Amino acid sequence: MPEPMKKINCMIVDDEPIARDILQTYIQRVPELELVKSCRNATEAYEGLYGQQVDLIFLDIQMPVITGTEFMRSLRKPPLVVFTTAYSSYAVEGFELNSVDYLLKPITFERFYQAVQKVNERMAIKQIPVPETEHQPDYLFIRQDNRLVRVEHDQILYIQAERDFSSVYLKETRLLAGMHLKLFEDLLPLKQFLRVHRSYIVNLKAIRAIKGNVIELENAEVPIGASNREELFQRLQL
């Protein structure tokens, strides 16, 4: 018997409802594609990447607050990406980010299907779309009420899990983010941040001292988990 077709889990990220509806219709016409989430902006996309496998994103470039290219650059291990946009001027930037394809709106099904074939080829050779480089951004955006607040990595002292939320402790304030700790772990650079306890991520640059199983930060102390202690000491070369 032939092996069942492996589904490609897809996400749509586009601020235009009509564009999302068109892409959803096209995805439903291709048997190997499975739509797992349709998002209006980058914040919803960050949340959608948590807790489920996403192989491919159909990503609009020109979106408010966080553009598609900024969103892609912010991911340490991004899925395959097909950019969608109404502006041909973004094509060069899209391909510089090693996207699989670039679809110019209005998108026909024939052109969409060509992009899917390129995705199949890329997945067959297991090529990583965007390797981590020194050009990764040094910030992230955190939703606060109706705003997306830009937070520089160096501002973060530590992050604490709060059930379905996370408290982000900065040098001068605290932000409550509607994101699980695992998502922060995926978004933040490995060289600077480390999960030191099941409920805490710490900025390694912010550590002032270690006493026993406690990390001393500016006006705060964070516990070290038994299973995290060895990796912490290795990273600090202790």
Percentage of residues of the chain with pLDDT beyond 70: 87
b/e code 143-164 from CB counts within 10 Å (16+ = b): beeeebeebebebbbbbbbeee
CATH architecture of 151-235: Beta Barrel (2.40)
Report the DSSP beta bridge partners of residue 158. Answer: 169, 202
pLDDT in tens, 145-201: 777 888 999 999 999 988 768 899 998 899 988 777 877 887 888 889 999 998 999
- Mean predicted lDDT score pLDDT of the chain: 85
Q: What does CATH list as the number for 8-124?
A: 3.40.50.2300
CA dihedral 20, 91, 64, 192 (to 10 degrees): 110
Q: What is the mean pLDDT of residues 123-139?
A: 58
The pLDDT of residue 130: 43
User: Residue 24: is its pLDDT beyond 90?
Assistant: yes
Q: Where are the domains of the chain?
A: 8-124, 151-235
DSSP state of 204: G
Q: What is the pLDDT of residue 93?
A: 54
3-state secondary structure 28-57: HCCCCEEEEEEECCHHHHHHHHCCCCCCEE
Region 91-97: mean pLDDT is 54
Chain centroid offset of residue 198 CA: 20
Confidence (pTM): 0.57
Sign, CA torsion 77/146/93/193:
negative
Q: Residues 25-77: pLDDT tens digits?
A: 999 999 999 999 999 998 899 888 876 889 999 999 989 888 888 888 888 77
